[in-house]
Chain A
Amino acid sequence: MAGGVDVTTFELTAMAIKLGIVLLILLHVAPIMVWAERRICSWMQNRTGPNRVGPFGLLQPLADAAKFIFKEEYVPAHVRKGFYELAPAVSIIPAFLTFAVIPFGPSIDIGGNLVHLQLADLNVGFVYILAISSLSVYGTIMASWASNSKYAMFGGLRATAQMISYELALGLSLVSMIMVYGSVSLQEITQAQGEVFAFFPSLPKWGVFLQPVAFLIFFISIFAETNRLPFDLPEGEAEIIGFHVEYGGMKWSSFFLAEYLHMTTAAGFLTAMFLGGWQMFPGMYTAIVALGLEGDALYWTMVGLRVLSFAIKVMVILVFFIVVRFTLPRFRYDQLMHLGWKVLVPIALVNIVVTAYMISFGWL
């Protein structure tokens, strides 16, 4: 923003406030997710889960964090010191960076100034997310390599292989989305999803209805992207413990913070791409019109509801992540490669061709 561009005080303040709120929410997502994960998993297994610390056990993550902080900072003697210390930071920074381009609300009008509810409306749009989130695998590889241990090394190798086989399918599924919307800016894509189908006006033109195949491929790929089960091969608690086997205390938990941040970003990305982003759920607009709001009240209710819709969609996706984690078993290494290269990539390619034909015939 700096340099030759004119930046008013208002824009700077708005930016600072947005940044503060987004950072605050992102930092709180991880502990809440840890709590939700443990509770939901135990409910699914007919257990209760952590329910002692605070109401409903909500303060359990705080207790965990305190435990992690007071743990001994043990560095094994055989590790490569510098890289070992650096790796958690390298994996956590991209996780924070990626959320920047995800629009979590419409542009709002505060006293004649337009404020985009999005940290940065880059002209490269979601390509930025793809670029940065691929960087996070460096943290994994660095951790595994610097650990100087066989099992960590396996974890790192798996992470690399997984990354290569999934990024491709992920990217290809997004290509068809670019073709449909003619834009890579998430804000524009979200706006385009506000329209409705001509033949069935109560169905909004969300990406998932326009491109169900791309949605499926994208959805499967982000499980691999975020190292969640069924694709958590780099971790593989049961067999190799994973790339962070030599880590402990706060360093170890920062890998997990990174994983949860990735999940949040992936859920936000998915929402913006395929689930209509901050567009309200069908029926919400009718409801507030029925309430008889007008002018400013209507405007701000709509803004609030839009941000709320975004939050609800992201939360549903996050809960879905958890449910899937405790439903499916882990894929084997070769099965994962098979699924990536022999199933998802061809389907994505066919999808692109079909989409191209449909666009040229004017059906989309």
Chain B
Amino acid sequence: MLIKRETGFLQRFYLLEVMKGLFITTKNWLFSKNITIQYPEQRRKYSPLFRGQHYIKTTNGVENCTACMLCPTVCPADCIHIEAGERADKEKFPVRFEIDILRCCFCGYCEEACPKDAIKLSGIYEMADYERRVYDKNFLLIQRGSK
């Protein structure tokens, strides 16, 4: 929207206005605090609800997941791939559990859908890599916790 402001007599000379502007910038320069976060040394505190890198929770060294296929069903990005199998104690378990992290949109639906509290999203957000990673089961079983 075009807002027309009245230009006063003094403002037409600009000089006073320029002085005001210079005063503001100089005040900012000398007296205001920097808000930059020096990243690798200082980190921003994120909420505990932050949705970052995935992991599968384990109990006594065994993954909680029973390969119920709820998370691949709910996943909007269709990036979870599970192959179910049977353990010696007749328990269903995922033989393969892969998350194509490049397609993941970090919506957190998988975490919400999971009845066994198995798949979780940690607070880790530094996921840059040199290759196109697909997180496999071994990787997901590393317990990351919420940072």
Q: Interface residue count for A (Cβ, 8 Å)?
A: 14
- Complex Cα distance A45/B27, Å? 11
Which of A269-277, A299-307, A321-329 is found at the contact surface with chain B? A321-329
Q: State whether the Cβ of A43 lies closer than 8 Å to any Cβ in chain B.
A: yes
Contact A46 B35 (CB under 8 A): yes
Contact A328 B34 (CB under 8 A): no
Contact B29 A44 (CB under 8 A): yes
Instruction: Tell me which of A43, A216, A323, A324 contacts B34 (CB under 8 A).
Output: A43
Chain A window 22-48, contacts with chain B (Cβ cutoff 8 Å), 1 for yes, 0 for no = 000000000000000000101111111
Classify chain B: how many residues form its interface, as a range.
Answer: 10 to 19
Looking across the interface, which residue of chain A has its beta carbon closest to that of B21? A327
Per DSSP, chain B at the interface is helix
Contact B25 A323 (CB under 8 A): yes
Chain B window 5-39, contacts with chain A (Cβ cutoff 8 Å), 1 for yes, 0 for no = 00000000001001001101110110011111010
- Complex Cα distance A28/B21, Å? 30
Instruction: Tell me which of B15, B18, B25, B36 contacts A44 (CB under 8 A).
Output: B25
B24: chain A residues within 8 A (beta carbon): 327
Chain A window 208-221, contacts with chain B (Cβ cutoff 8 Å), 1 for yes, 0 for no = 00000000100000
Contact B18 A46 (CB under 8 A): no
Contact A328-B36, Cβ < 8 Å, known A44-B28, A323-B26, A323-B29: no
A327: chain B residues within 8 A (beta carbon): 18, 21-22, 24-25
Looking across the interface, which residue of chain A has its beta carbon closest to that of B17? A328
> Which residue numbers of A lie inside 8 Å of B, CB to CB?
40, 42-48, 216, 323-324, 326-328
Q: Would you list the 8 A-B pairs with minimal beta carbon distance, nearest first?
A: A48-B36, A44-B29, A327-B25, A327-B21, A43-B29, A44-B25, A44-B28, A46-B35
